[in-house]
Structure 1
Amino acid sequence: MECVFGLVGKGFALVVADTSAVHSILVHKSNEDKVMILDSHKLMGASGEPGDRVQFTEYIQKNVALYQFRNGIPLTTAAAANFTRGELATALRKNPYSVNILLAGYDKETGPSLYYIDYIASLHKVDKAAFGYGSYFSLAMMDRHYHRDMTVEEAIELVDKCIIEIRSRLVVAPPNFIIKIVDEKGAREYAWRESIKDTPLTSK
């Protein structure tokens, strides 16, 4: 029941993911961070088989760092997305990874961007995207409320609407979500949405 979604606003991009590590009917942990910080201005949100997700995202992170170390300049967001797509396409013909990716970044020349990369190595630059069962609801909410020049406050409000919809409509909804943002100041964690804290406690 994974849920990963993201959007591009005015001068920033953000990625949101659930934090549940689940196998079959068991929840192993509820604080799994599925949004990796690739470098100072890039985020990678991933969903899929846990082993593939962790191995592949770490592989991309280390290779992005290696490129910067060797060449003295970081990859652009578009270049990182195309590299990721190329590695998925190569693996597809050998030992495919069951992983879907949202890659968000900020470049001085082009501003914020978001790339959709699925497990069969399809690559698209998008304004909003989602993976997992939560995409049925988050995409519907974003289609209705999203606009290209959203402020951070408007985007977070929309994210909260998506999370509320997922929690209320999905039969087995993940309780916790993590929000990360990237803008000219860099990539960083923005907030958590924890179900226990969101539910007011009433005393008798």
Structure 2
Amino acid sequence: MSERLVAPTFLFRFAAPCFYTADLWSSKGASLGPKHILPCFGELEGKKIHTEVRAGWSEAGLAFQFVIKGKTQPPWCRDSRIDDSDGVQLWIDTRNTQNIHRAGRFCHRIALLPLGAGRKLDEPLIALLAINRAKESPREIDTRQLQIRGERRHDGYTLQAYLPAQTLTGYTPGDQPSLGFTYAVIDRELGPQTFTVGPEFPFAEDPSLWGTLNLVK
């Protein structure tokens, strides 16, 4: 029996459409329908898919929705240990530079946790994180502009996030209709789920391992 030496997701560059929505975000959260569902290319390796991911865009910013199912245990979250917490992390390159191995000023990393904010630490948390080994960082922003909504369910939870254009350095969809993009759903019970390559590759710090979102209007 021959052994697989290279993961299938490492051999290709993956792209997915991200559809336009004029009224992207409201007090009720993201306005994302079935057409906004993103594929998970980990399926090529037979990995279990436990999270439905949706993404949409407008000139005003980006919105995401994550629906995590199949849990029997509550999520483990600590605002002091975001990297170790259950939740989602997003990586976005507003210039979609596929040939660099160290993040630049157009690269962003955002964490979404179902718990960790509020007086009782029982509200969803959103945070902008540094990217390891980055050559430059995005411009400083008021993180209160980042929006998040969450809902606990009997078998998991949902997270919705809105990233206004002013929080994303270089976000000009009229001139740059493609974004470098990947995500990681981190869950101690269900295991990881990623957009392209898995945690066996250093995608957290290497933009050349990210996929692409094509902004479709």
TM-score normalised to structure 1 length:
0.30
TM-score normalised to structure 2 length:
0.29
More helix by share: 1
Structure with more relative contact order (C-alpha pairs < 8 Å, separation 6 or more): 1
